Structure 1
Amino acid sequence: MSKERTMVEQLAEWVHNADWTKLSDEAKEALKGRVLDSIGVAIGALNGEPVKNIRQMTEDLGGESVVTLIGGGKTTPDYAAFFNGAAVRYLDFNDSYLAKEETGHPSDNIAPVLAAAEYADTSGKDFLLALAIAYQIQCRLSDIAPVRKHGFDHTVQGAYGAAAGAARAMGLNNSQIANAIAIAATGYNSLRVTRTGELSNWKGLAYPNTAMGAVHASMLAKYGITGPREVFEGNKGLMDSIAGEFTIDWETEDLERVTDTIIKRFNAEIHSQSSIEGLLELRDRENIKPKDIKEIRLTTFDVAYNIIGGGEEGGKKLIRYKEEADHSLPYMLAAAYLDGQVMPEQYDPDRIVREDIQELLQKVDIRPDDSYSSRFPDEMACRIELETNDGQIFEVEKRDYQGFKTQPASWDVLMEKYNGLTRDIDNTLAGKIADTIKNLENVKVSELTELLGQIKPEEDESYE
């Protein structure tokens, strides 16, 4: 008598049967756009100190030269997923998905799925399909099984998506895919302290670590290792231990969730984007000197307030280093007003500690508003009031920003961001990478990874 299929086995069957022809043209273009955006961000991060440290660790550990590292060299699939994922994540400039009670960065799945695809020597089309699977699973679990309120990180849902995408890219069968997902999902349930209070390098490495585990889980499944069949619904499984009861019919799921993800216009935590855009509009319109500002008052939605505005995840006005700065609305707004932008250079150590920005961020007051909160995640509504020392008040109200799902970023907009992030590598090579991504469904994935291995960032002697 056959056993009834568990939820992870139903999910695995859906993953195995996923079909490229079922993706809309919009989803296919969105997938390529997310790859372009994330590869650009990764290239821009290669000289970041934690990224360089992880490269050194990877080189010291060695490992079979199987999968390409962005910036040159090869290592094992799981080590490559960790390093490349760290590069994608370090700047905190990659895409986001907004569920009502959960926010994640589904492009964190690019590194593990790319590592698995290169390992299996698949086509670009198969890579993109596996990536669509990873996006769909992480986003849908974020919709129906949020974990932040229970003290766990969004990487929890990511473990399911990353393992499913990697296993599909490797060409595993139904049973192996189920085992890969079950192993990764059981083993990687990170605590939300990753992103609360005093922040550390781990903020940008929690998902790469989960991605590495997902690729490792897929390798274990390939070699016959099994995982808990009842990881979702079983005794002390995901529902029982963390998320509570939920249902999902995987057989009816499409592959379109990637089209609901959003791109960051500014190098800042995702919930800050509309407020930064609004403050820059006010700055350009009124031309008020920073020394004349008495206070900047931001009224915003509760998620922004709680995560980056000084709410439930801790105060945001003691800013000493990058990980604190890029998760502090007061810092990011002060940087935007003083520098006219929020890009990687706004997180240089010397910029963070400078007196002008430290003084201005103390003048930023942030409060939540129920009406704005009710409009999230369909909008990122906010209102900014700037009061001058002589009592004048100037204001602007926003509902979204360029790059939000109501104003999707076109390929040209993404290329503008990509070109800025890749300005320190050879222009011809950067162009070839972008062209290959644009045509990715028609080439082998190795054509892309070979180009990524040729990158040599300037101003870094370790690459010479």
Structure 2
Amino acid sequence: MISASPCGHKDNYSHEEVVYVSQQKTMVEKLGDWVYAASWDDLSSEAKEALKGRVLDSVGCAIGALEGAPVKSIRRLTDDLGGSPYVTLIGGGKTTPDNATFYNGAAIRYLDFNDAYLAKEETGHPSDNIAPVLAAAEYANASGEQLLLALAVAYQVQCRLSDIAPVRKNGFDHTVQGAYAAAAGAAKAMGLTAGEIANAIAIAGTGYNSLRVTRTGELSNWKGLAYPNTAMGAVHAAMLAKYGITGPREVFEGNKGFMDAIAGDFTMDWSNEDLERVTKTIVKRYNAEIHSQASIEGLLELREQERIAPEAIKSIHLTTFDVAYHIIGGGEEGDKKRIRYKEEADHSLPYMLAAAYLDGQVMPEQYEATRIKRDDIQQLLQKIDVQPSDAYSDRFPQEMACDITLETNDGRKVTIEKSDYKGFHTRPASWDVLMEKYNGLTRNVNETNAAAIASTIRGLENKNVSDLTTLLEQITVREAE
């Protein structure tokens, strides 16, 4: 079987693939068939709009992060590495597809402000797939429609594996499912054959199994770089597959494979999957870890209603669902009251709630070093207690249930209950709401360029990927006023 790809090469089944034809297909080969067969017509209008919304949201996050210290360090590394100028870097310049994936992915992820998907035992950020899919699509000279379709594939793979094969409880990071998703999306964007797609997924799935220590205990820059690193490897895996390199065809079900070594047994009939999971993802209203969103909105509402001075507060007690407690509330993933820098602050419910009450918002400026170190916030966060509730845990992930009780020094108590927030799937963010967030994140770049980027994304299915990347290359950040 020979076919031409958008990259201009001839796709031939390798010797190994010819041998496989006579054997029963494995799960990754069936996944490759599904990815290859996915078409634009399979997407609902709601999914298409959601995909464009996620691209807008993530590009805004990337632009807002360009002056972040780790992002600037990775930019210097990328420039030092050089490489053939195939793919655009957000903010100017070009490099290889894998290097561009790492840098652009780091920018999208750094603020921890991009979307999320809540499975019962796993939470991930499917928009982390935008960097690898965009790099692969630009490399392949793809259309905007092809980019969005490949992105839908990546969203579906990551979300569904998170549903049926959670790994956090076994000590692995959610980027594990991301390896399969990013490779599937990148391979689809490159126009690879079904066999090549399967090989790309198998290579990435075998090679990128990150430890959960990434997000436990004393946090580091790696918290925001683990997925960009996995995505970079996934793009490299797709390139290897494009050039005929094969991967373990029993990566899922084989001896010492994903099921045997990490996730346990599960079943999945990819042929029955749709492309709608993107509509179940949620957007952050506040620049804070996703499980904090309802509690932050609730505390801000309580702040507005009661107008209690911070110095009059004796304690703030949050009762929430178990996932929030264990990841950001001081449960199994470590103490959350010793806060010294951004990576610790944006994964600490006590810090984020204290910032919300003191400043009336939780945005990138709440994570500046000078804000983190101030006495007012350090003192208030020590007064915040977080505990889990079985009843609220049973309602997750359909709801983000919690209640907050604020007690004053004179013994007065006020309480508020929440089940969701604006941006949750029960109250999804409209394009106008996303634009408000985007405009805030892009306030330090040229307004005309930022508006042109948003307009291009709004009609991306009728554009070429190069129309977007040309604008992304033109971004320049001016000094904040």
1:349 is matched with: 369
Aligned equivalent of 2:101, options 81, 91, 96: 81
2:44 is matched with: 24
Give me the whole-angstrom Cα distance separating, in 1, the residues matched to 2:97 and 2:22.
35
1:427 is matched with: 447
Aligned equivalent of 1:156, options 172, 176, 186: 176
Q: 1:134 corresponds to which letter in structure 2?
A: A
Q: How many residues matched?
A: 460
Give me the whole-angstrom Cα distance separating, in 2, the residues matched to 1:228 and 1:266.
41
Deviations 1:369-419 (A, max 9, x none): 000000000000000000000000011000000000000000000000000
Give me the whole-angstrom Cα distance separating, in 1, the residues matched to 2:81 and 2:33.
36
Aligned equivalent of 1:4, options 24, 30, 33: 24
1:112 aligned onto 2:132: yes
Alignment of 1:248-259 (within 5 A): 248-259=268-279
Give me the whole-angstrom Cα distance separating, in 1, the residues matched to 2:346 and 2:338.
12
Give me the whole-angstrom Cα distance separating, in 1, the residues matched to 2:197 and 2:311.
59
Q: CA deviation at 1:420?
A: 0.1
SS at the partner of 1:232? coil
Aligned equivalent of 1:40, options 60, 63, 67: 60
1:217 aligned onto 2:237: yes
Deviations 1:99-139 (A, max 9, x none): 00000000000000000000000000000000000000000
Give me the whole-angstrom Cα distance separating, in 2, the residues matched to 1:122 and 1:305.
43
Q: 2:132 corresponds to which letter in structure 1?
A: P
1:203 aligned onto 2:223: yes
2:337 is matched with: 317
Give me the whole-angstrom Cα distance separating, in 2, the residues matched to 1:63 and 1:55.
13
Q: 2:80 corresponds to which letter in structure 1?
A: D
Q: 2:235 corresponds to which letter in structure 1?
A: V
SS at the partner of 1:367? strand
Give me the whole-angstrom Cα distance separating, in 2, the residues matched to 1:126 and 1:22.
13
Give me the whole-angstrom Cα distance separating, in 1, the residues matched to 2:398 and 2:370.
37
Q: 1:94 corresponds to which letter in structure 2?
A: N
Aligned equivalent of 1:365, options 385, 388, 393: 385
1:69 aligned onto 2:89: yes
Give me the whole-angstrom Cα distance separating, in 1, the residues matched to 2:406 and 2:428.
29
TM-score (structure 1 length as normaliser): 0.99
1:246 is matched with: 266
1:231 is matched with: 251
Give me the whole-angstrom Cα distance separating, in 1, the residues matched to 2:391 and 2:64.
38
Give me the whole-angstrom Cα distance separating, in 1, the residues matched to 2:106 and 2:463.
26
1:305 is matched with: 325
Q: CA deviation at 1:329?
A: 0.1
Q: 1:388 corresponds to which letter in structure 2?
A: T
2:438 is matched with: 418
1:267 is matched with: 287
Aligned equivalent of 2:422, options 393, 397, 402: 402
1:91 aligned onto 2:111: yes
Give me the whole-angstrom Cα distance separating, in 1, the residues matched to 2:39 and 2:82.
37
Give me the whole-angstrom Cα distance separating, in 2, the residues matched to 1:410 and 1:144.
29
Q: 2:90 corresponds to which letter in structure 1?
A: I
Task: Calculate the aligned-residue CA RMSD, in Å.
Answer: 0.6
1:130 aligned onto 2:150: yes
Q: 1:48 corresponds to which letter in structure 2?
A: G
Give me the whole-angstrom Cα distance separating, in 1, the residues matched to 2:43 and 2:193.
21
Aligned equivalent of 2:411, options 385, 391, 394: 391
Aligned equivalent of 2:311, options 291, 302, 315: 291
Q: CA deviation at 1:22?
A: 1.1
Deviations 1:417-438 (A, max 9, x none): 0000000000000000000000
Give me the whole-angstrom Cα distance separating, in 1, the residues matched to 2:351 and 2:345.
6
Q: 1:189 corresponds to which letter in structure 2?
A: N
Deviations 1:246-297 (A, max 9, x none): 0000000000000000000000000000000000000000000000000000
Q: 1:384 corresponds to which letter in structure 2?
A: I
Which residues of structure 2 form unaligned runs of 5+?
1-20
Give me the whole-angstrom Cα distance separating, in 1, the residues matched to 2:24 and 2:403.
53
Q: 1:12 corresponds to which letter in structure 2?
A: G
2:17 is matched with: none
Give me the whole-angstrom Cα distance separating, in 2, the residues matched to 1:246 and 1:382.
31
Moved over 3 A (4+): none
Give me the whole-angstrom Cα distance separating, in 2, the residues matched to 1:22 and 1:203.
34
Give me the whole-angstrom Cα distance separating, in 2, the residues matched to 1:205 and 1:105.
13
Which residues of structure 1 form unaligned runs of 5+?
none
2:80 is matched with: 60
Q: 2:168 corresponds to which letter in structure 1?
A: R
Give me the whole-angstrom Cα distance separating, in 1, the residues matched to 2:348 and 2:115.
18
Aligned equivalent of 1:140, options 147, 150, 160: 160
1:458 is matched with: 478
Q: CA deviation at 1:459?
A: 2.6
Give me the whole-angstrom Cα distance separating, in 2, the residues matched to 1:167 and 1:86.
21
TM-score (structure 2 length as normaliser): 0.95
Q: 1:233 corresponds to which letter in structure 2?
A: E
Q: CA deviation at 1:197?
A: 0.1
Give me the whole-angstrom Cα distance separating, in 2, the residues matched to 1:61 and 1:303.
40
Q: 1:84 corresponds to which letter in structure 2?
A: N
Deviations 1:203-260 (A, max 9, x none): 0000000000000000000011110000000000000000000000000000000000
